[in-house]
Amino acid sequence: MNRLKVLSALLCLLVVSCAKPVVTVHLVKPTENESIVYLYRPGVLANSMVSPELILNDEKISEIENGTYQVFHLPAKSHILSLNVDEKYLGNKTIELNTQPNQLYFVKLESSLKFQKNKPYIRYLYLKQVSESEAHIELSQLDEEKLSNSASKMQEGDSKAINKDEEAQFSILKTNNPFQK
């Protein structure tokens, strides 16, 4: 009887220690004069090294890395969001959003590769609007560190405001340990 209790306790400890913590995504609430667009890119291996430029209404606004998301506060009107990538990438690289005041919108950047026998592989990057429930599930599955990094980048404001002299200097804080878990 005691063995059963000990084995049950060990099994519970094993299950709890192997469980991945759940990341809770707190959505930003839009004001009455704006809409909020979440653009996210699930962490996948296909095209993971590519960080496409994001173009909003013909103006470059940022780049999106694999496994991150960005939040945009936009006025309520029609917006065209597109990716600036090489022509070797196929797929829907432009999406039009007709935003309404006080609404949330979710756009997913999907990435895939298609392999064919005796032919070069085909790369796909495409934007698609998704439901809030689908986006919430996928946003919560993104890496917590990347979420906090991309969220803090968005809080800093315009990416053009970074001091170029500081960016060019070497710092150990800018390097990543490839063996760190």
Residue-wise pLDDT for 126-181, tens only, equals: 899 999 999 988 888 875 545 455 444 544 444 333 344 444 455 555 556 556 55
- Strand stretches in the chain, DSSP E: 34-41, 53-56, 59-63, 68-75, 78-84, 89-90, 94-98, 104-116, 119-130
* Proportion of the chain above pLDDT 70, given as a percent: 66
20: pLDDT strictly greater than 60:
no
* C-alpha to C-alpha distance for 64 and 181, rounded to whole angstroms: 23
Contacts from 86-90 at CB under 8 Å and sequence distance 24+? 88/123, 89/47, 89/50, 89/52, 89/123, 89/124, 89/125, 90/122, 90/123, 90/124, 90/125
Domains, in order of start, for the chain: 31-157 (2.60.40)
List 35's β-bridge partners, or say none: 74
pLDDT at 159 (0 to 100): 37
**Lowest mean pLDDT, pick from 10-14, 41-45, 156-160, 170-174:** 156-160
* Residue 147 one-letter amino acid: L
- 65-85 average pLDDT score: 92
**Cα torsion 173, 28, 51, 85: sign:** negative
pLDDT at 27 (0 to 100): 82
- Greater confidence (59 vs 165) lies with 59
